[in-house]
């Protein structure tokens, strides 16, 4: 039997290991998608470095479409390879409204809540993973979902705790990838 102190120490060690692995994961992710500012995502801009082009695999960038009419002002995300140097082939993926990204998260999260049993079954596998970080995230997911209720609106804290990336395909569908690698598809209305 472990003493309480030993358990606490193991808990801390586990946490420390998870933090190191999470830093590695972010670094690998940022290198893969050529993202330089993954840690700069903020409350106003939770999607920075997390929206990926399903067409060419680049990172999506945020763009504000201004208008004199405030109601027509829009924030969109589009592939960073949309307009490249003249003569080079640019990416033809369509842009996506940021409202779609907010909605996609809410719909994915609610799908998880409504299909709790299904996800809990999937996470039983995650708990056995060789990968320490996946085991750690899986435990967190189970904790989050256990008492979760459907969301009425975007929740930034849940977003950062659950989502690795959102991949956009031709303005038709998006695939939301959870931090443990599970992918959930959403149609774009």
The interface region with Zn ion, picked from 7-15, 41-49, 78-86, 108-116 by CB under 5 A, is: 78-86
Residues 86-105 that bind Zn ion (CB under 5 A): 91, 93
Q: DSSP character for 59?
A: B
Bridge partners for 77 per DSSP: 62, 96
Which among 78, 116, 107 is positioned nearest to 175, based on CA atoms?
Answer: 107
Q: Which of 30, 56, 151, 156 binds Zn ion (CB under 5 A)?
A: 56
Q: How far apart are CA 96 and CA 74, in angstroms?
A: 10
Whichever of 29 and 154 has its CB closer to Zn ion, that residue is 29
User: Quick one: CA dihedral 140, 142, 143, 149, positive or negative?
Assistant: positive
- For residues 101 and 147, the answer to whether their CB atoms sit within 8 Å is no
Whichever of 81 and 135 has its CB closer to Zn ion, that residue is 81
Whichever of 51 and 112 has its CB closer to Zn ion, that residue is 51
Question: Can residue 58 be called a binding residue for Zn ion (CB under 5 A)?
Answer: yes
Whichever of 79 and 174 has its CB closer to Zn ion, that residue is 79
The interface region with Zn ion, picked from 10-18, 56-64, 140-148, 159-167 by CB under 5 A, is: 56-64
Three-state secondary structure call for residue 6: helix
Which among 80, 75, 48 is positioned nearest to 63, based on CA atoms?
Answer: 75
Whichever of 51 and 176 has its CB closer to Zn ion, that residue is 51
Site string for Zn ion, 159-188 (x = CB under 5 A): ------------------------------
Query: Can you say how many angstroms the Cα of residue 131 is from the centroid of all Cα atoms in its chain?
Result: 19
Q: How far apart are CA 58 and CA 24, in angstroms?
A: 20
Least separation in angstroms between CB 55 and Zn ion? 4
Q: Tell me which residues touch Zn ion (CB under 5 A).
A: 53, 55-56, 58, 79, 81, 91, 93
């Amino acid at each position: 039997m472990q003493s309480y102190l030993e358990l606490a120490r193991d808990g801390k060690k586990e946490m420390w290991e998870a933090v190191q692995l999470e830093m590695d994961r972010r670094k690998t992710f940022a290198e893969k998608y050529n993202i330089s500012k993954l840690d700069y995502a903020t409350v106003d801009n939770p999607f920075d470095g997390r929206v990926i082009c399903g067409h060419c695999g680049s990172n999506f960038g945020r763009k504000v479409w201004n208008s004199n009419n405030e109601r027509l002002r829009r924030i969109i995300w589009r592939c960073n390879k949309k307009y490249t140097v003249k003569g080079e082939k640019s990416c033809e993926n369509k842009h996506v409204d940021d409202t779609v990204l907010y909605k996609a998260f809410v719909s994915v999260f609610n799908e998880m809540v409504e299909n709790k049993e299904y996800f809990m079954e999937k996470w039983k596998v995650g708990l056995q993973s060789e990968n320490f970080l996946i085991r750690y995230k899986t435990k967190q997911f189970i904790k989050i979902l256990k008492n979760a209720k459907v969301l009425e609106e975007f929740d930034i804290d849940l977003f950062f705790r659950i989502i690795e990336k959102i991949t956009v395909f031709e303005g038709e569908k998006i695939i939301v990838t959870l931090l443990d690698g599970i992918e959930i598809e959403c149609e774009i209305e």
